[in-house]
Every structure is written in structure tokens, then in C-alpha cells.
Amino acid sequence: MHLADTLIIAAYMITLVGIGIRVAGRQKTTDSYFIAGRTVPGWAAGLSLLATIITSVTFIAFPGAAYAGDWNLLVPGILFVFVILSIGPIIVPFFRHVVSMSVYEYFGKRFGPAVRMYSSFAFAAGHFAKMGFVFYLLALAVAGFTSWSIAFLIIGLGVITIFYTFIGGLRAVIWTDVAQGFLLWTGVAVTLVLLLFSPQVHPGAMIHLIAANHKTSLGSFDFDLARPTFWTMVLYGFFYYLQKYTADQTVVQRYLAAKSDRSALRGIAMGASLCLPVWTAFMLIGSLLWAFYHLSGQSLPAAITRADQVFPYYMVTQMPVGVAGLFLAALFGAAMSMLASDLNCLGLILVEDFYSHFFPRNTDAQRLRFGKFAVVLCGFLAIAVALRLSSTHGSALALYYAATAIVAGGLAGLFLLAFLSPRAGRLGAVAGIVVNLLFTAYATLTLDGGKMLNLHRYNYPWSAYTIGVFGNLLLLATGLLCAAFFPAPQSLSSNQTLWSWLAARKHSGPQSVPLGDTP
């Protein structure tokens, strides 16, 4: 690493801390700390969504996937835009008027506190696992081509992120995300220019080689669920991003933080629309890298054994001084944006879905103190998980990640059951959750020929990408079946469904439904 690159990274870290300090004085209530007092401009909420979705894994995995194969991994991203453009005009204002801060409050209103706490726990388990894993992968990748130790990277980046998230709340998270968004686009644009106009390879030759080898293909169009074909990835993308937009606290917080329904919808649509070009750009970078190393005559060192190592290697060997630092700052920022967003939302759901339930007479000041404590605690636990992964190379926690993958599924199906079926009640929700857990456990453990649990001919036969698809469908089908035979009593069944919401908005207008009340 050149000194100039290190100084650029240091300047970016100082900027993030400065943003946290700048907004720290406004964090006086839980509303301001966790949803920024509903004062964030829509465009800022959209850029924050972009920075939250584009993690450091994207920087490495997408170019690596395109380098090794084709653009099949881009297919779910296309569904990402489709989902928000189709359901956003209903979902965004619905949540802004039905819940106060936690998206899982909606499940509680429909199915009771036990389902609310389960869904909150399922989300928290999955995201907590992700935090440690993403930080470990980032440190592993960067340490491979710098002199920095993995532990130094994990602890340093983690502590900085915890600090500005702790003092600045969601407002600091969003505005650091905005800075990350601009840095991300700058880094991507500079990299594409460097690759396309390299003096060693003519751009036309690279484009021709990429086209001749079908490197931009979206995958096979055979309907084969055992492989990651185009249709497999379509199904995966639809349910993954449906869950992201309807049952993911990090996304719903952006709805709630915006100034108005219209501002929130425009901002979220903008953020979703920007994600697809970013993913496409990373795929193009991977394809261009493949062409570059085939045509330039340069060979990769023996230490490069995986496709996802090629882009980081290119950054430090081919990029001019300063540009590598810019892109590494964007890479660090992507991981920190994800961690900061997760920390804030974990603090929120621990306060709203657990602390307030068990201590209903708490004051707002007590809730704020507990929330800040939860942010710090979760942050240091995530650092500990990442350090543990670095010392065991992931093997010691493999079973834990399998377990969190099992419990974190099914939330999209649970939302569809709550939103579409007025007859569904607590029994249908609980039965659906149980069926989903059993199926997901079976499929996850017997996947890939039974690596964790071998049932031989009864192993799960299809791609891992289909587990969530079938899990959500099974939960929904089970809940609807229970609702058909055992409908919830009218006194216990909430009216907060798609049909009652549309009727209320048609009768009274979109701005007349008070926050948190039944529309």
C-alpha cells in the first residue's frame, strides 16, 4: 500500500466519524435515534438504501462471479427493481401509517406478541450472523494483498463504526451512507475507465472476446431447479427481495425515516433503481478483468487461487496511486454501512420488540439508554464473531450459520399471510412457521448430497437458491389452510390487510389514516 492510498482511507474514516459527531446532539429521543425523527429527505433515504444493499461482499463476489462464469448472479437484482416498483406504492405508505418503528410490530398486531418476537428474533439472528461473516470476509480479502493483519482490520473498522453509530443514531447512518454512495459511484466509474482504456489492451478486443465467450449471459433458460438457471434465480430473487422490502427492518426504517409518504416512495424507488446499474457495473468489471488477463499477456500469481481474489489483486497492482486507496475506502465503507445499519436496527428491535414488552412501564429515556447499550453490545459481539471466524477459518461456526439460515427464513411468507388473508390468525401463523422451520432445516442439512446430514436418496435434490422459495410458499399455504378451516375470531382478527387498507384509503384519503391505528 502506498502512503497516498493509506491517507485517502484515513481521511474517509475521519469523515465518517465527523458526520457522527456532527449529528450527535440531536439524539434525544428513541424516535430521533432510531428513525431520525422522520425528517430525512427521500433522496438521502434512497442513497442509504443503496449503500445498505451494496455490501463489501458485492465488491468481491460480483466481479469474481463474472470472472469465473457469466452474469447469472445479476438475475435476482432485476427482480429487486421489479418488486419495489410493483408493490412499493402500497407497501411504503402502509408501513408508515401502521407501525411506529419496528416492522415486526405489524406481525404482533395481526398474530400476537409471540409471533412478533419470533419474527424479530429470526431477523436478528440472520443479520447478526451476516455482520460477523461480512467483516471476516472483508478483512480476509484485504489482508491478502496488504501488510495489515486481519485482527487489526476487524477491530479498527468495527470500533469506528460502533462509535459513529452509537453517538449519531440512524441520522449518522444515513448521512454516512450518502457519502458512501457517492464514493462508490466514483470508484466504479474510475475502475471501468482504467480497464476500458488500458494502454496494454484495446477495448474493442476485450468486448469482442467477452461476447464471443458469452460472458454476459444470464444463465441457462432451462427450467431446472437443481441448478442456478435463469428461472431458479428469478424465483430466488422474487422471494428474497419480497422479504427484503416487507420484513427487513433495515429497509423499512428507510421508509419510516423519510419526511412524507411521497418522499419515502420516491427515495426508495431511486435507491432500488440505482442498485441494478451498480451490480451491472461490478459484473462488467469482472468480465473485463477476465478479458484483460487473457489479452494483456500478464499472468496471475500462484497465490490467486479463487476468482474473487482477482479484483483486489488488480486494484493494488494495476491502479494508479490514489485510485486504489479510493476504491479500498469504498470497500471499507460498504462493510461499515452494512454494519452500522444492522447495529442501529438491532438496537431498535431489542428495544421495541423485547425490552418494551417485558418492561412496559419504561420511559423514553430508559428505552434510549437501553437502545444505545444494545448498539454497542451487538457491535462488539459482531467483532468477536469475526475474530473467531478468522482464527478457525470459518469451520467452528459452520453449524451456527446453518442454524441462523434456518430460523431467518419464511418472513416473506408470514407477511403475505398477514397482508392477504383477513381470516388468518395466530394458529395459522404458528403452524406455518413450524412447517417452514422443519422444511428449511431438512433442506439446509441435507443439501449438496448431504454434507451435514446424509439421508441418501432423500437428500434435498434442488439448488440452495430454492430453499427460501419453497419455505415461504409452505408457510403461506399452511397458514391459508388453517385459516380456511379455523378462521380467526372477528374479535381477534385485525383489519390491517391489503383489502381493508385499500378500502380505508379510498374512503378517507391516504393522509387521514393515523399512525399506528387500524386503517
What digits encode the pLDDT tens for the residues 202-211? 989 999 999 9
CA neighbor of 248 nearest in space, from 78, 370, 124 = 124
CA neighbor of 110 nearest in space, from 512, 502, 497 = 497
Q: Examine residue 368 and state whether it is found in any structural domain, yes or no.
A: yes
Same structural domain for residues 324 and 301? yes
pLDDT tens for 339-376 read: 899 999 999 999 999 999 899 888 999 999 999 999 99
pLDDT confidence tier of residue 492, bands split at 50, 70 and 90: low
Q: Examine residue 325 and state whether it is found in any structural domain, yes or no.
A: yes
Residue 423: which domain range? 409-510
Q: What is the pLDDT of residue 396?
A: 44
CA neighbor of 49 nearest in space, from 241, 235, 212 = 241
Q: Quick one: DSSP state of residue 37?
A: G
pLDDT tens for 218-246 read: 988 989 888 889 999 899 889 888 888 89
Is 501's pLDDT higher than 70?
A: yes
Q: What is the pLDDT of residue 256?
A: 92
Same structural domain for residues 492 and 472? yes
Is 57's pLDDT higher than 90?
A: no
Q: Examine residue 286 and state whether it is found in any structural domain, yes or no.
A: yes
Domains held by the chain: number: 2
pLDDT tens for 150-159 read: 888 889 889 9
Q: Examine residue 8 and state whether it is found in any structural domain, yes or no.
A: yes
- For the ranges 5-14, 74-83, 414-423, the lowest mean pLDDT is seen at 74-83
Q: Examine residue 516 and state whether it is found in any structural domain, yes or no.
A: no
Same structural domain for residues 157 and 231? yes
Same structural domain for residues 21 and 44? yes
In DSSP terms, 40 is beta-bridged to 258
d(CA 327, CA 315): 8
Q: Where are the beta strands (DSSP E) in 223-291?
A: none
The CATH number of whichever domain residue 337 belongs to comes to 1.20.1730.10
Q: Where are the beta strands (DSSP E) in 397-436?
A: none
The pair phi, psi for residue 268, each rounded to 5°, is: -65, -40
> What percent of the residues of the chain are helix, what percent strand, and what percent coil, each to the nearest 5?
80, 0, 20
Q: What is the pLDDT of residue 301?
A: 84
Same structural domain for residues 54 and 191? yes
- For the ranges 43-47, 193-197, 304-308, the lowest mean pLDDT is seen at 304-308
Same structural domain for residues 242 and 228? yes
Domain boundary residue, one of 408, 429, 461: 408
Same structural domain for residues 397 and 501? no
Q: Examine residue 517 and state whether it is found in any structural domain, yes or no.
A: no
CA distances from 422 to 109, 435, 480, 498 (A): 12, 21, 10, 9
Q: Examine residue 518 and state whether it is found in any structural domain, yes or no.
A: no
CA distances from 33 to 41, 224, 256, 267 (A): 16, 47, 12, 20
- How many CA atoms within 13 Å lie on the side-chain side of 304? 17
Same structural domain for residues 68 and 96? yes
pLDDT tens for 393-451 read: 554 445 555 665 676 778 999 999 999 998 898 999 999 999 999 999 899 889 888 77
Q: What is the mean pLDDT of residues 275-303?
A: 89
Same structural domain for residues 70 and 146? yes
On whether the CB atoms of residues 330 and 184 are closer than 8 A, the answer is: yes
Domain boundary residue, one of 390, 408, 426: 408
Q: Examine residue 519 and state whether it is found in any structural domain, yes or no.
A: no
The residues, ordered by sequence, that sit 6+ positions from 346 with a Cβ below 8 Å of its Cβ are 124, 127, 128, 374, 375, 378
On whether the CB atoms of residues 497 and 421 are closer than 8 A, the answer is: yes
Q: What is the pLDDT of residue 131?
A: 82
Domain boundary residue, one of 379, 408, 437: 408
Same structural domain for residues 167 and 135? yes
Same structural domain for residues 387 and 253? yes
Is 517's pLDDT higher than 50?
A: no
Q: What is the pLDDT of residue 508?
A: 65
This prediction has a pTM of 0.87
Same structural domain for residues 448 and 380? no
pLDDT confidence tier of residue 116, bands split at 50, 70 and 90: very high
